[in-house]
Amino acid sequence: MGVNRLTVKELPLSERPYEKCEKFGAEILTDAELLAVIIRSGSREERSIDLAHKVLNMDRYKKGLINLHHLTIKDLTKVNGIGRVKAIQIKCIAELAKRMSKLRSIEKFNINSPSAVASCYMEDMRYLTQEHLKIIMLDTKNNIINDKVITKGTVNASLITPREVFIESIKNEAVNIILLHNHPSGDPTPSKEDILITKRIFKSGELLEVQLLDHIIIGDGQYVSFKEKGLL
């Protein structure tokens, strides 16, 4: 630590995160200051704001708040001054932010817009490191009744049966459904397996009078809708 380094308490009031938030509102804080408030206390060598900067710059390619979704608790504790409790707090606040983003999207949800569906689940699924296949269940007015992950891992047509999908649909009294899954590579282009799964579930839905409205694949900030592409 440098000889002239000031502690947080020694900083002018206008530069202290807690005081700035109280006086001007949280929106005035920088990303590092917001994270410093969560971290609360620093180490003997560094202030909380310094630890925040280190966390935000851990990955040279994905810097900033967005990287908090990718960092594990083990990754975070590699920063000197970030222990188990602080690491858990950081991961929990990242998860809260993700869920809040999803809830805001659901409030504006329009089933006639695949982009709105993708937006609703983008933050929930774009950071997953393995494929998750999710079913979104809808009522007669196409409001969301429930959603559920059907499988985790490689989305393979030989491992996923329509039965799994429609057991959940019938249990929730869904009239329509949407399939949703992610591509960890970030490229949402449908594979042959994706197309095969979609066709099987669509045909099964016709027999059970539960319509598959769309299959949306989530990539990193982008999506592909089977409905928009004329694949459904």
Q: What is the CA radius of gyration of the chain?
A: 22
| pLDDT above 60: residue 157 | no
Q: Is residue 26 part of a domain?
A: yes
Backbone phi and psi for residue 206, each to the nearest 5 degrees, phi listed first: -60, -40
Using 50, 70 and 90 to split pLDDT, how confident is the model at 74?
Answer: very high
* Contacts of the segment 118-122: beta carbons below 8 A, 24+ positions apart: 118/216, 118/218, 118/223, 118/225, 121/180, 121/216, 121/218, 122/218, 122/221, 122/223
Q: Specify whether 115 is located in the same domain as 210.
A: yes
Domain count across the chain: 2
210 within 8 A of 178, measured Cβ to Cβ: no
Q: Specify whether 38 is located in the same domain as 70.
A: yes
Q: Is residue 17 part of a domain?
A: yes
Domain that holds residue 157: 110-225
What value does the mean pLDDT of the chain take?
83
Which CATH number covers residue 193? 3.40.140.10
Q: Is residue 230 part of a domain?
A: no
34 within 8 A of 26, measured Cβ to Cβ: yes
Q: Specify whether 117 is located in the same domain as 181.
A: yes
Q: Specify whether 119 is located in the same domain as 207.
A: yes
Q: Specify whether 35 is located in the same domain as 117.
A: no
Picking from 101, 119, 145, the residue at the C-terminal end of a domain is 101
| pLDDT above 90: residue 224 | yes
Q: Tokens 């188990």 map to which residue?
A: 84
* Whole-number percent of the chain with pLDDT over 70: 84
Picking from 101, 124, 156, the residue at the C-terminal end of a domain is 101
Picking from 59, 74, 101, the residue at the C-terminal end of a domain is 101
Q: Is residue 231 part of a domain?
A: no
**Span 152-162, mean pLDDT?**
70
Q: Is residue 177 part of a domain?
A: yes
Q: Specify whether 12 is located in the same domain as 97.
A: yes
Q: Specify whether 81 is located in the same domain as 151.
A: no
Non-local (6+) Cβ contacts of 120 within 8 A are 102, 105, 106, 109
Q: Is residue 232 part of a domain?
A: no
pLDDT of amino acid 15? 62
Q: Is residue 2 part of a domain?
A: no
The SS3 assignment for 38 reads helix
193 within 8 A of 157, measured Cβ to Cβ: yes
Q: Specify whether 52 is located in the same domain as 93.
A: yes
163 within 8 A of 151, measured Cβ to Cβ: no
Q: Specify whether 71 is located in the same domain as 140.
A: no
This model's pTM is above 0.75: no
pLDDT of amino acid 1? 42
pLDDT of amino acid 69? 78
Q: Specify whether 221 is located in the same domain as 114.
A: yes
pLDDT of amino acid 230? 92
> Which structure tokens are listed for 40?
């609360």
Q: Is residue 183 part of a domain?
A: yes
**Span 210-219, mean pLDDT?**
95
Q: Specify whether 114 is located in the same domain as 192.
A: yes
Q: Specify whether 220 is located in the same domain as 114.
A: yes
pLDDT tens for 98-151 read 777 666 655 545 566 888 888 888 888 888 888 999 999 998 888 888 888 988
